[in-house]
Structure formats: C-alpha cells, structure tokens
Amino acid sequence: MIKPHGSDSLNALLIENETDRKRLLDNAVRLPTLMLNSAAAANLVMLGAGYFNPLKGFMGLSDALSICESLHTTSGLFWPVPVINLVRDKPSFGAGSKIALLDPNVDGHPIMAVMEVSAVERVTDEQLCIMSAEIFGTEDSNHPGVATFNGLGHYLISGDVQVLSLSYFQADFPDTFRTAEQIRSEIDQRGWDKVVAFQTRNPMHRAHEELCRMAMERLNADGLVVHMLLGKLKSGDIPASVRDDCIRVMVDSYFPKNSVMITGYGFDMLYAGPREAILHAIFRQNMGATHLIVGRDHAGVGDYYGAFEAQEIFTQRVPDEALEIEIFSADHTAFSKTLGRVVMMNEVDGHSSDDFVLLSGTKVREMLSNGIAPPVEFSRPEVAKVLMDYYQIEGA
C-alpha cells in the first residue's frame, strides 16, 4: 500500500487505548484550559485521525511563515497550509505549560486534547496579511476563508498534542466518518491496490458521478473512495447529512456493488483553491489512496482562482518526490445533448455551450425550492428527490 506522507507508518495522534485515555482525562481536568475556535478544533480532529501525518501538533510561527513562503516547514517537510492554533486573547500560560484544549462544537465543551505548549507567539497584522495572501491568493475580506482566518486572533499557540476526542463526527456520522487508519484498513481488506479518491463538499450530480467513473476506467482502478467533507462550510451550502444521503442513493443505484467506499472526514472547508488541493492530496495519501481527482476550480470559491490553478500548482510548485499520490486532472464534465452522454468538455469537438446541459447553482436551488426536479441529464432522480425534500423543509 502507498506510504503515508512524510513517514513509513501512520502517526495518528488519537489516544485509543481506554486506560491511557482515562488517565490523561483524569489529569487534564486539573490543567489550565483553552477554548478552541472551530478552525483549530478541525485541525485537531485531522491530527487525531491521522490525516495530517506526520505532524505531531500545532505549528509555530516560523513554520507557518516558512510554509506560506516555500511550501516547506523549517525542517524541510513539504506542506501547503499552516496547521495552527490562533486565539484572540493572550493566554496566562506560556512555553513549557501543559494545557487542556476544549471543544467549541460540542455541548459542555469537553476536553479534546492535552497539549505541551512549545511557544506562545504574537502574530503581527503584517504577518497575518502575508499568511492570508499566500494561503488564499487574496486579501479580500469577502473571501470566506480570508474572513475566517483574519478573525481568529493574534496569538499563536504551538506544541505537540495527545488527542482524546474527534469531536462530534463519530457520533453524528457513525456510518460515514472514518479515520485515515480505518480507511487504510478497509482498502487492505478489500484487496484494492490502485485507489481513486474523490473530494466533495456538495451532493454528487451526473457530472460528478461520470467523472469518478472516467477516472476509475482510465486508471484501471480497483476502487473509488468518495471522501466527503463533514465539517463547517460557508452559509448557504447544503448540510453534510443531506449530502451524505444524496451520495449514498447515487452510489447504491448507479455503481457496481463493492466498487465504492463512502466515507467522510472532520474538517472545516478553507476555500483555499490550489493550496487546499495539495492539502487534499496529502490526507488522501495518508488514508491510502493512490490517486486524487482534481477537477476544474477544485476547492475554489467565487472567481478567486483560475479554472485550472489547482491542477497547475502540482506541476509548478510541488517538487518531484514530494508526494507519492498522483493526480487525475479533469476538465468540467457535463451532459452533451449531441452525444447523449456526460463528457469531459475539453474532449469533444464541434460543441458550443448550448450543446451542453449547464445549470448554475442558483438556478438549481431555485428549482429545488419550488419542488421542480432538475433535468435527468443533470441530476439523477433519486438524488433530486433527496434535495427537493430538504429544500421543501427548509422553505416551510
């Protein structure tokens, strides 16, 4: 099986031994506490679940700035986006302290992890702007990722962590949320060698379905892992539970049995375009996938990124041998009225935009809200029904 990123074996930071976990929790209740923001809690879940292998905790300022500048930590590890814990108020504790990190997303704010604090550093406005501009490619506060990042605070708390909880994801998505090690184990049990991963934060329509099928056929893959984001999105996006239902009904109805694993991960969407595409590749390698589908405007939002920037960064800024996972680059896919099937738009000649079934997200939401199913060329009827039911309840 493909090796994890940066190490020979997976370094998940979740303490799973119940005796060790209870001992750490018993000691943690007497420690100084820090309430995490959602972004830091999401990073902690990814550290605990092994997706951020080989990291051992939250990065310090020098590593964060080095990554933004060069896509490498100060020690030389290839990494695209700082994994940091920013807070607004200067804490009372300092370097050398052991603290308990509290979950902001679960009632009662239980302890998520124990942290050995390496440093507490003040981040200047200039440094925040540098990081924001490099991570997101813009300083525009209308960008949802920029707005979130710039509101996290000016104090960066770094250090190794021992993770005690993966927040709400295991309880809320017991059939879908999986750690990197759990996915690796299932890939091994299925005997898959070549594995394609598909990243999604949306329901899967006909174009997504066919793109996955194209990748599997062209790569002669043994299986597909649909890996959906289960964390927080921007306002107006469809909730994870609804997306989960859409994907399951599509896979059950239109893919061969046992050819697809439906899984999810606990992370908040960054909308960081090219850099987030690299991050997606790293944690798909960590979970055992050999290939990641990177489509048009992957991990993008609005008009902040060029259509193929997320693909180009792999050839322009990812050094040879930095990653073992390979990228399946794809153009926009859509139903061709002329050919009567879903195609990759750059692979067909003699077509104008009128020859494709193309619907904007706004138009689709309007149709669903009015109880009108999108055309079958755009969305499978089973998927459309799940979405119409959701929008009818939302509009009630």
Specify the 3-state DSSP secondary structure of 50. Answer: coil
CA distance 13 to 286: 13
Which among 269, 195, 213 has a CA at the least distance from the CA of 239?
A: 269
Using alpha carbons only, what angle is made at residue 263 by residues 260 and 268, rounded to the nearest 5 degrees?
140
154: exposed, middle or buried (Cβ count in 10 Å: 0-12, 13-18, 19+): middle
Which residue type occupies 132? Answer: S
Q: What are phi and psi of 263, to 5 degrees?
A: -140, 170
Q: Is residue 111 within 8 Å of 102, Cβ to Cβ?
A: yes
Work out the number of other CB atoms within 10 angstroms of the CB of residue 42: 24
Q: Is residue 58 within 8 Å of 81, Cβ to Cβ?
A: no
Task: Tell me which residues are annotated as active site.
Answer: 201-202
CA distance 384 to 390: 10
Structure-block tokens of residue 334: 């859509």
Q: Give helix 61-70 / helix 125-136 axis angle, nearest 10°.
A: 40
Which residue type occupies 203? Answer: P
Structure-block tokens of residue 309: 């920037």
CA distance 230 to 239: 8
Which residue type occupies 370? Answer: N
Return the half-sphere exposure (C-beta side, CA atoms, 13 A cut-off) of residue 229: 21
CA distance 188 to 58: 30
Work out the number of other CB atoms within 10 angstroms of the CB of residue 126: 8
